[in-house]
Amino acid sequence: MPRKGSLAFPTKQRIAENQRKMCAVDGCYSPRSYTKQYCRKCAHAFQRHGHPKARAIRPWEYAAIRKLVRSLLKQMIPEVHTDALATMAECLEPGREVKRNLFNPKYHAWKERLRLQVNKVKIPLALEHALSVMVMIAEQPRRFPNRATEVRAVGRAVLRLVPYYHATMWDDRKQKNVSLQRRQPAASAFDVVGADVFRALWPLAKQLARRIEEDRNKRNEEIARRYREQQHAPQP
């Protein structure tokens, strides 16, 4: 008899059978991974971003939105801006220490918030990034297939502002410092922090999104009007 838990006959066969099937995602034709219903890539996306078709949001993707958000924040009533900053600071406050338990999302969230605090994250910067991603969510709903994806994108945008923990060691052969360990925060930390930020700042983000859209429409109309005038101007 094979030992319990070893990759012996039944499991091995199950894996072999499963790997002959296609990924469960529409339009993905890769073979499934181990005993999962998704292929390797889709399973990874599901675990990290909350949906097999979701992908990471990179800062350069919302750089243009961030520029607009920054200028709008400057034009805002000072009290509203201070309020938003205070809310953001509250969301990133680590609070009381949580006992180490890798199955407790609150432990991971506490650890990541502590990392931000120790590395002195800039609250205005965090506010800008979080609001920009939320404006992106309001503008491009197709990019975020479900709520988990939205929440994780917001959490990731905030938690990636200071470098992830890693230890370095001098490598004689390569003649440079090599990173021993580079860890991403646990996905559940994105969930907890992202949900807090999302709940607190979504109304403001929606306002900003509406404002940005109005400004854009106004500018487009202005350009169209000028173009029309040029077209119908009497020829000299």
Residues found near Zn ion in the complex (CB under 5 A): 23, 25, 28, 30, 39, 42
| Cβ at position 191, least distance to Zn ion in Å | 23
Sign of CA dihedral 96, 49, 64, 69: negative
Q: How far is the CB of 16 from Zn ion (least distance, A)?
A: 19
Directed axis angle between helix 147-159 and helix 123-139, to 10°? 150
Closest CB to Zn ion among residues 13, 30: 30
Distance, CA of 104 to CA of 22 (rounded, Å): 33
Integer Rg of the chain from CA: 24
Which of residues 42 and 69 has its CB atom nearest to Zn ion in the complex? 42
| Least Cβ distance, residue 195 to Zn ion (angstroms) | 27
Q: 174-181 — which CB contacts under 8 Å span 24+ positions?
A: none
Distance CA 223, CA 75 (A): 24
Q: Which is nearer to Zn ion, 25 or 151 (CB)?
A: 25
Nearer to Zn ion, 45 or 204 (CB): 45
Token match 């520029």: residue?
67
User: Helix H segments across the chain?
Assistant: 9-19, 40-49, 63-75, 78-91, 105-118, 123-139, 147-159, 187-232
Q: Which is nearer to Zn ion, 28 or 161 (CB)?
A: 28
Q: Looking at beta carbons only, is 40 or 160 nearer to Zn ion?
A: 40
The pair of structure tokens assigned to 234 is 């009497």
Q: How far is the CB of 156 from Zn ion (least distance, A)?
A: 21
* Angle subtended at Cα 44 by Cα 41 and Cα 45, rounded to the nearest 5 degrees: 85
Shortest spacing between CB 35 and Zn ion, in angstroms:
15
Shortest Å, Cβ 26 to Zn ion: 9
- CA dist., res. 128 & res. 134, Å (int): 10
